Structure 1
């Protein structure tokens, strides 16, 4: 446990060697993602990770990062861009391709997540032991989640279940779409980059997001009514896939594969989770400083939401079993791993 924590913490150190002593790059890789270059994901995760890999390879690996879909395509295509070798690496939202990673959706059920660090480490171990078939076409660097999300409304406060009735709500994934439908909302699915325009034009009234995304997309200026959840679990989370093209990885000599491997897996998931947890606090402050309103779902009302959305999990179990999975076992494993890393 101690060594794992040290590995995760070591990622924040960044590049330890100056560029003056780095060798000329033997391998240059393209890393593609959908968020702006000022986003938390790039500034505090992807760029430090790339710098650390370059430093530990003594400059033999260089990674160019292309944010905001600069290499073309749409966010739901990022995983396939990596799989096909159009890019060498990508970071993307797993839920952008519904049905592709069914085992992972156990973590997207309502009221499953704890902090991003805990849930990310649990999910990465789950992926390593349960999702090999779903991820066989790429070299997985890590899976992770964001901090449990909140609701952000452009028109009114959301204080109770009934307040979502009839509202147009952007859902981040299928599990939350099922939950929002139970709450009689009109669900809309769209990638993160489309949300500012959708809110400003009234295409959606509410979006489900962590504050970590609210800040760089300036959602708090368009949706000034925020609803947070306070209980034993967060409202929901979304999972992300950080992957590498198999041929790009396999062409590396063993010593450089080790550099990639040393910066992958559960330790990387823990590091990314820490980054997302920490950023959430500052990002929320931007909404506070903007004079926005905050509501908290807690106590009896929190229990109402949990009880009302229980059918989402029940239907997930039924659907997964119908598709040939042992849904109860997968769900129990996800919960057990979250508990494991809660005490890690």
Structure 2
């Protein structure tokens, strides 16, 4: 009797383990600097939920918004080292680390978030930058044209801007300097208090931030300097070890959902710009448009950044002109 029961027990055990999932449930951490109320934080959470649903719970997430797991400047390294499994941050917060991607942020005359996001992912696909090879990139997204906002001084000309302290990071800071302002490099999370306390005279940011970060409460003027407007590229990275722990089917699910959400982020940037403008105006903000002549002056002043970029990355063995030309060609396409 006992001898017979052993084989039956072994058969039961083998059957039990065969019907279990191929691997245990994988729990991933996701670090995002956007606050939980921001539309791009909410969209990141939806991305997590959709992957959980599509993998039938094989993949689950612990989501950390508002820089509660990693600081924006440290997110890429934190993901590469496994401190966080996935992270979203702005490449401008790690100046010099992403020389190819930095070309996307240059004042190219972007018209929308959808356009900027499409170009960003085309650059990623075309050049496969070596600077990203320590992680697995999920997707990129980018906002519509960033413009200058000020606390209490209207900006009608370059002369009005000269010497003003304007918050800006990465390319936005360089745009400010090229236009005659004094850039102050701080993250978006610090901008509200800096404007409120008068630490800076203004900020360069997309219109959406007037609502998303409530900057419309502390900025009174917006100059529509679209000709010198920049974008900011945001990247979602995943730790390579964790990526390779996924099954091929799970990787396919991630890839499919990534393409969907890259477009969603671009669309959301544009929707958020509209809400940002409405919020700014509701707080009594004043919008200052530019004449064609003034717009050309600002474009001419900021165009030096393209040549500076090409010369700068050449020292690192990168043909920046090819990257810039690629972006400009894509912007000419309908």
- Relative to structure 1, the CA distance from residue 192 to residue 259 in structure 2 (aligned partners, 3 Å threshold; closer, same or farther) is same
Contact 1:206 1:223 in 2 (8 A): yes
CA distance in 2, matches of 1:139, 1:281: 33
Please point out which of 58, 70, 74 is paired with 1:60: 58
Q: Counterpart of 1:144 in 2: which secondary structure? A: strand
CA distance in 2, matches of 1:254, 1:317: 39
Contact 1:82 1:88 in 2 (8 A): yes
Deviation string for 1:124-159 (max 9, x for gaps)? 121122133111011100111112112111121112
Please point out which of 173, 177, 184 is paired with 1:177: 173
Deviation string for 1:175-226 (max 9, x for gaps)? 3323322322121100111111211222111101112222132211111111
Q: Where in structure 2 are the equivalents of 1:90-109 lying within 5 Å? A: 90-109=87-106
CA distance in 2, matches of 1:338, 1:268: 21
Q: Where in structure 2 are the equivalents of 1:1-344 lying within 5 Å? A: 26-43=25-42, 45-71=43-69, 73-173=70-170, 175-230=171-226, 235-265=229-259, 267-340=260-333, 343=334
Contact 1:111 1:306 in 2 (8 A): no
Contact 1:162 1:183 in 2 (8 A): no
Contact 1:25 1:61 in 2 (8 A): no
Deviation at 1:318, TM superposition (A): 2.0
Deviation at 1:234, TM superposition (A): 6.4
CA distance in 1, matches of 2:84, 2:160: 43
Deviation at 1:295, TM superposition (A): 0.6
The runs of 5 or more residues in structure 1 that have no matched partner are 1-23
Larger radius of gyration, structure 1 or 2? 2
CA distance in 1, matches of 2:134, 2:272: 32
Deviation at 1:302, TM superposition (A): 0.7
Contact 1:107 1:113 in 2 (8 A): no
Deviation at 1:247, TM superposition (A): 1.1
Contact 2:91 2:102 in 1 (8 A): no
Deviation at 1:257, TM superposition (A): 1.2
Deviation string for 1:69-90 (max 9, x for gaps)? 122x422011111111111101
Contact 2:147 2:207 in 1 (8 A): yes
CA distance in 2, matches of 1:25, 1:161: 60
Measured on the aligned residues, the alpha-carbon RMSD in Å equals 1.8
TM-score normalised according to structure 2 size: 0.88
